[in-house]
A and B are shown apart, each in its own frame.
Chain A
Amino acid sequence: MVARRKDKGQGLVEFALIAPVLVLILLLAIDPFFKAVNIALAKYYTFQAAREASIFLADGNHSCDSWVRSHVSEPTLLMGTGWTLAISPCPTDSSWSQVSGSTVTATFNWEQSTVWWHGPWTGQMVTRDVFQ
């Protein structure tokens, strides 16, 4: 009877020993996983931005820049703390129209905070398309 009483809580002790290691592993994996998701989001976002810019029609009212930004949905980054999108050439001048066959580059820079790793982390994604 004494022995059984003494065995009580052994599972808890074992869990208490394992739990920190498990949590550590999970935490270590969370940030790279978020980064991977953000890379995918960034790729899709720059792809969309470059494609929209490539088919931009100058109508005298909207600039290429404003038109593209209004036609692509902003990415919801995981743990994102800030981002910028640059499309070049795609100025804010509404009298600008594209040169067919030339390259348009969408560059997305972002910053994400980290849960476990030393941060913040930054990332950049670039996608190029051709003006129609």
Chain B
Amino acid sequence: MNAWSRTKAFLSRREAERGQVLIILAFGLVFLAALVGLMIDLGIYTTNNIIAHNNASVGCVTAAEAHRRGGSATSAFASILQQNGMLPATYSPNEGTGLTLTRGLENVGDGSWRAAVTWQQPTGFIGIVGIREMTIRGRARCVGRDSGGLAPIAVRQSAVEDSLYGLPPEEYSILGRDPSWDLADVESGTNFRGAVFVHMWCVPSTDPNCPDIRVFYPLTEDPPNAQTQKKLVEDCFRGINCSIWPGVDERLPIVAGTSDNQICHAFQDGGWEVGDKVVVIVFDGEVYNPDPTYGNWENVAVVGYAVYEITQFEPNPNHCNNVIARLASDRIYDSLDDIPADVILLRSREISWDYGGPIPW
């Protein structure tokens, strides 16, 4: 091959390879764009699924709580989801049922609820290949707590300990004076009917007269008037505005100036029935009666917490003077957090979607 021929061949090949870079670039770009697009769409999908689950969980617990307080679970569910920016179409109307619920709220009937939200999320890049929407789903199952938390009831330590040792009587009054039963080991007056204020604590002091009171929000008056006190105790029996945990050694004023009938009815109005379990405060047994010239808060000292099961209202549910109960825990707890969920459920909470056993309380 002479020089001319070689040059010709070279030029010809160069001519044939022209645009090769452009083709590679074009394919590479498409591939990369698709990859990046897929990543972004996957990110959007994951993020929205997390948002959906969180919203379903919030809606579920809110509904369970509203139901427990006697309100409308559906309204509460819709309200909180709207506040979290969810459109009505994402949670209503119901779609599916039981394990296959994909939208809406459902009362399972065993004390638990299922909630689900669904929406169609427009896709970004993968729309190029015809996938224009992706389905976002979030779901949660939850249980509403079965008690109002800590009840404003104080039971003497000696009674709890006797029950722990199996000594009679098996059941006795925890609220309301019963002539055959002492609500306290030491009490100079006759004011104590088993109820205490959990929104008012004696300011820690070496002086047991409880000269100063510390009040907890929503209580703002110091000292509160009788009407406010009454309302607080009633609310507490309902499990409303009572997320207060007086620790061991705190001293709490007792509820005075009320009758057995009033206090027992307030308890019943809180929705308590025979068979319910209630978390009570255990006190050391002495209702401290302050020096009348010094202070006016009769008080008791907290030593722990226990769970009681209500067995009857005496003399009868329509004319209630005493709440009779028996111990339902196997020890005196130092903290509310120590009480296992299978003894009593203190907080509404999420459980697994397909939980099949008995609801733990």
Contacts and interface: CB of A to CB of B under 8 A. Distances in A.
A60 B10 contact: no
B39 A29 contact: yes
B65 A130 contact: yes
Contacts of A2: 6, 10
Given A43-B47, A43-B51, A43-B54, A100 B243 contact: yes
- Of listed B46, B58, B80, B199, residue having the most chain A CB within 10 A: B58
Nearest to B83: A128
Contacts of B250: 60
Given A29-B36, A37-B43, A132-B145, A51 B243 contact: no
Interface in A112-132: 126-132
Interface string B220-248: 00000000000000000001111111110
Interface in A79-132: 93, 95-101, 103, 126-132
A57 interface: yes
B305 to A, nearest CB: 12
Contact of A26 (B25, B36, B85, B215): B36
B57 interface: yes
Contacts of A103: 80, 83
B349 to A, nearest CB: 8
Given A3-B9, A14-B24, A128-B58, A98 B243 contact: yes
B58 A50 contact: yes
B336 A33 contact: no
Nearest to B204: A60
A129 B61 contact: yes
Nearest to A50: B58
Is chain B's binding surface mostly helix, strand, loop or mixed?
Answer: helix
Interface in A1-51: 2-3, 6, 10, 13-14, 17-18, 21-22, 25-26, 29, 32-33, 36-37, 39-40, 43-44, 47, 50-51
A16 B243 CA distance: 66
A24 to B, nearest CB: 10
A129 B43 contact: no
Nearest to A101: B69
A107 to B, nearest CB: 12
Interface string B1-27: 000001001100100010011001100
Interface residues of B, number: 58
A111 B274 CA distance: 55
Nearest to B250: A60
Given A57-B336, A60-B214, A129 B36 contact: no
B218 interface: yes
- Of listed B10, B13, B76, B245, residue having the most chain A CB within 10 A: B245
A58 interface: yes
B245 A58 contact: yes
A50 B247 CA distance: 24
Interface string A42-68: 011001001100111111110000000
A8 to B, nearest CB: 13
A57 B9 contact: no
Contacts of A17: 21, 25
A95 B216 contact: yes
B89 interface: no
Given A21-B29, A36-B47, A129 B58 contact: yes
Nearest to B53: A47
A127 to B, nearest CB: 6
Contact of B13 (A3, A26, A128, A131): A3
B243 A97 contact: yes
Interface in B233-279: 239-247, 250
Contacts of A50: 58
A10 B16 CA distance: 14
9 contacts: A21-B29, A25-B33, A37-B47, A39-B47, A47-B58, A55-B347, A100-B69, A101-B240, A132-B65
Given A47-B57, A60-B214, A97-B217, 10 more contacts: A2-B6, A18-B28, A22-B28, A29-B36, A36-B44, A51-B58, A57-B244, A103-B80, A129-B58, A130-B61
Interface of A: 2-3, 6, 10, 13-14, 17-18, 21-22, 25-26, 29, 32-33, 36-37, 39-40, 43-44, 47, 50-51, 54-61, 93, 95-101, 103, 126-132
6 closest A-B pairs by CB: A36-B43, A47-B54, A40-B47, A57-B245, A3-B10, A29-B36
